[in-house]
Structure 1
């Protein structure tokens, strides 16, 4: 390639020739590397996420949640629902929930459910028939009726109150001297006063639709 030159100089010139030919390719490669580094430097960091509990499948109201009913999902911190429950196993659903929906405090029986509706008061209601109480589920919307034991006349005491908790393991039918069964409902302050007054002199019962 370079006749008349010593072998060492010919090799040096060949190397220089190859370098000149590849200079553009090397320069283009270095430019691309620099551009990629700049993009990575200026790109925004990945969004911060938080772990939340979601329903692993569709669950009806009144379900006592087990570990297999729940799954953990990563949510962008700014999109995670307020009041997402940090622990829900062993608690009872107050309303149905669909697969993948975030489990929040207002979905669970407890103080959070009452706080979800401003002005709601938690009221224990004793029903004389434990069998009726056993038919109720947390999350049901019911009407509370008071029946006068003397005349048998029934009047509406409170409408569309939310059942928050129901008794477990009760026998069917009236329980007489054992005192019936307690259910817990959420009602307005005015309704709570009427319920308490009616419970002193009348028999309370419920009606509802599902």
Structure 2
């Protein structure tokens, strides 16, 4: 009996050693790398879209790859200020709101402008620069106050503001086109006052950067 146990001792020892090594391996294996869950576009999205739950999905990114202002929740119902590609993380700067003015200088405001020609607004994208033109004022006293007198262009229309960046183009139904369409531009406060006092109808031209 003792001789039999002696013969089995070495194989059993090897078996127990292998089992112990197998149990120790998971403890020695490194855990998953740290990551952060953020919202990203589930498909290509257009500027002006009102976000729904199906437009977004959660992705996990390494902490160093998470962009500043990345959103983790609370985006449903918000309006996109610019187009997004599938898989692109969603940040506050992509939404209509305070994030629109991130990166602009102090004193910059987001100014909505109603353009009479809704078709012209459909040609505009966030990042474009535009001039806003107004119909001739009936008298000089109604001219908006600017640092310089508005330039006169063809047909008597006046240049209200020049080469301002578009930050958002809110989407609207085609049935509302008879009321024109809104475009949101980044202006200083003087330009915002000039737009508020400009005679309707307003139109735009797209300028170079």
C-alpha RMSD over aligned residues: 3.3
How far residue 161 of structure 1 moved from its aligned partner, in angstroms, is 0.9
The verdict on how the C-alpha distance between 1:168 and 1:114 changes in structure 2, with shifts beyond 3 A counting, is same
Task: Tell me what 1:65 maps to.
Answer: 51
Q: Which whole-Å deviations, capped at 9, do the CAs of 1:25-68 have from their partners, x for residues lacking one?
A: 22223333333444443443323443322211111212222222
Q: Relative contact order, CA 8 A, sep 6+: which one is greater?
A: 2
Is 1:141–1:208's contact at 8 Å kept on the other side of the alignment?
yes
How far residue 155 of structure 1 moved from its aligned partner, in angstroms, is 3.5
Is 1:136–1:166's contact at 8 Å kept on the other side of the alignment?
no
Structure 1 gap segments, 5+ residues each:
1-12
User: 1:122 aligned to 2:126?
Assistant: no
Structure 2 gap segments, 5+ residues each:
138-151
User: 1:207 aligned to 2:205?
Assistant: yes
Counterpart Cα distance in 2 of 1:121 and 1:101? 27
The verdict on how the C-alpha distance between 1:96 and 1:45 changes in structure 2, with shifts beyond 3 A counting, is same
Is 1:134–1:168's contact at 8 Å kept on the other side of the alignment?
no
The verdict on how the C-alpha distance between 1:73 and 1:159 changes in structure 2, with shifts beyond 3 A counting, is same
Partner-residue secondary structure (3-state), 1:196: helix
Task: Tell me what 1:163 maps to.
Answer: 167
Moved more, 108-117 or 137-146: 137-146
Which of residues 170, 177, 180 is equivalent to 1:172? 177
Q: Which whole-Å deviations, capped at 9, do the CAs of 1:97-126 have from their partners, x for residues lacking one?
A: 111221221112111222254544212334
Which of residues 59, 64, 88 is equivalent to 1:101? 88
Which structure has the larger Rg?
A: 1
Counterpart Cα distance in 2 of 1:48 and 1:134? 44
Aligned pairs for 1:49-60 within 5 A:
49-60=35-46
Aligned pairs for 1:15-34 within 5 A:
16-34=2-20
Size of the aligned set, in residue pairs, is 186
Q: Which whole-Å deviations, capped at 9, do the CAs of 1:10-30 have from their partners, x for residues lacking one?
A: xxx1xx334323322222233
